[in-house]
A and B are shown apart, each in its own frame.
Chain A
Amino acid sequence: MSFVDFFKKKSSGETAKERLKLVLVSDRAACSPEIMERIKNDIIEVLSKYVEIDKEGLDIKITQADGEGPDEKSGPALFANIPIRTIKERN
Chain B
Amino acid sequence: MGEVIVITSGKGGVGKTTTTANIGTGLAKLGKKTVLVDTDIGLRNLDVVLGLENRIVYNVVDVVEGNCKLKQALIKDKRYDGLFLLPAAQTRDKSAVTPEQMAKVAKELKDEFDYVIMDSPAGIEQGFKNAIAGADRGIIVTTPEVSAVRDADRIIGLLEANEMEDVRLVVNRLRSDMVESGNMMNAEDVVEILGIKLIGVVPDDEQVVIATNNGEPLAGDDSLAGKAYINICRRIMGEEVPYLDLKRRKGFFAKLFGKG
- A residues within 8 Å of B by Cβ? 11-14, 16-17, 19-21, 23-24, 27-28, 73
- B residues within 8 Å of A by Cβ? 144-146, 149-150, 153-154, 157, 178-179, 181-186, 189, 193, 195
The number of inter-chain residue pairs (CB within 8 angstroms) is: 41
Contact B185 A24 (CB under 8 A): no
Residues of B within 8 A of A11 (CB): 181-183
Q: Give the interface SS of chain A, mostly helix, strand, loop or mixed.
A: helix
Residues of A within 8 A of B181 (CB): 11
Contact A17 B185 (CB under 8 A): yes
> A17-B189, A20-B146, A73-B195 known; A28 and B153 CB under 8 Å?
yes
Residues of B within 8 A of A13 (CB): 178-179, 182-186, 189
Closest Cβ of chain B to A56, distance in Å, is 32
Contact B150 A23 (CB under 8 A): yes
Q: What are 8 A-B contacts with C-beta separation under 8 Å?
A: A11-B182, A14-B182, A16-B144, A20-B149, A20-B185, A23-B146, A24-B150, A24-B193
Contact B153 A24 (CB under 8 A): yes
Q: How far is the CA of A20 from the CA of B195 in the complex (A)?
A: 13
Closest Cβ of chain B to A21, distance in Å, is 6
Contact A12 B189 (CB under 8 A): no
Q: How far is the CA of A73 from the CA of B192 in the complex (A)?
A: 10
